[in-house]
Amino acid sequence: MAKILEGKSCARKIEEQIKKEVQLLGIKPGLAAIIVGNNPASKIYVSRKIAACTECGFFTKTIELSDNCSEQKLLTVIQELNADEKIHGILLQLPLPKHLNEQHIIEKIDINKDVDGFHPLNRGLLVLGKPVFTACTPKGILELLNFYNITIAGKNVVIVGRSITVGKPLASLLLNADATVTICHSKTKSLAEHTKKADILVVATGRVNTITPDMITRKTIVIDVGINRINGKITGDVSDEAKQKSAAYTPVPGGIGPMTIAMLLQNTLLAAKRNDE
């Protein structure tokens, strides 16, 4: 029977430690969240992150901007947050409306407040193994594997998906941890040939049933990063049948989601500590 790698208990343990450190720090770590537009999913994600911050004793600030917000207006908000001494981390909830240049805007966030780890300098430093901050979801995946004593070094890890938020930074993290990494994507031919070779399979495509039972073995450890809403139900990118066939898997919800939030808190605490030095 497949083992369930649930993330809630690991995230809770990390957040309890963060809460203790905040009490000793003497200042409140500050996180500002920016939401552009009226995407219900984005609002849910941000509200969960803010609630976790509040629980751990952080100072929080949420800025909501309209769908038709100009790029200059958003850049002005970021500039003000960069200069705000009470704010140690800036969370820009993605995706942004299509009329906004996402990459250009991310570049304007102070790298020392880039707690999402999306700034190009942070992404480049990650390749060198020296990031100021590591992207939260990839970092959370490694923390969860460590929590369950799953060895990474020497393992064949296949990542399906090459986004800047998960696939690409995760590949760098895994290489730094001595894994043998394969990245698959929409143009990969014979996907199953690659996924069947995986000791650890990470799936982040945003597409239901990307992985079916015939694409894995009974020894595969499956990390499902996907969040899809189908008929009011949240499901991942990996079919239930594939998960049951696997050696172990992360559930959706309750797997990587809580870990992502815990890593955001960890990064914000780190930013506050550095600022206090």
Catalytic residue list: 49, 93, 116
Distance between CA 75 and CA 53 in Å, rounded? 24
* Cα 170 to the center of its chain, rounded Å: 10
The number of helices, as runs of H, and strands, as runs of E, in the chain is 10, 11
Q: Which amino acid is at 53?
A: C
Tell me 111's DSSP state: G
Query: Is the N-terminal amide bond of 29 cis, ω within 30° of 0?
Result: no
The set of residues, in sequence order, having a beta carbon less than 8 Å from that of 168 and lying 6+ positions away, is: 123, 162, 183
Q: What is the 3-state secondary structure (H, E, C) of 1-69?
A: CCEECCCHHHHHHHHHHHHHHHHHHCCCCEEEEEEECCCHHHHHHHHHHHHHHHHCCCEEEEEEECCCC
Tell me 127's DSSP state: H
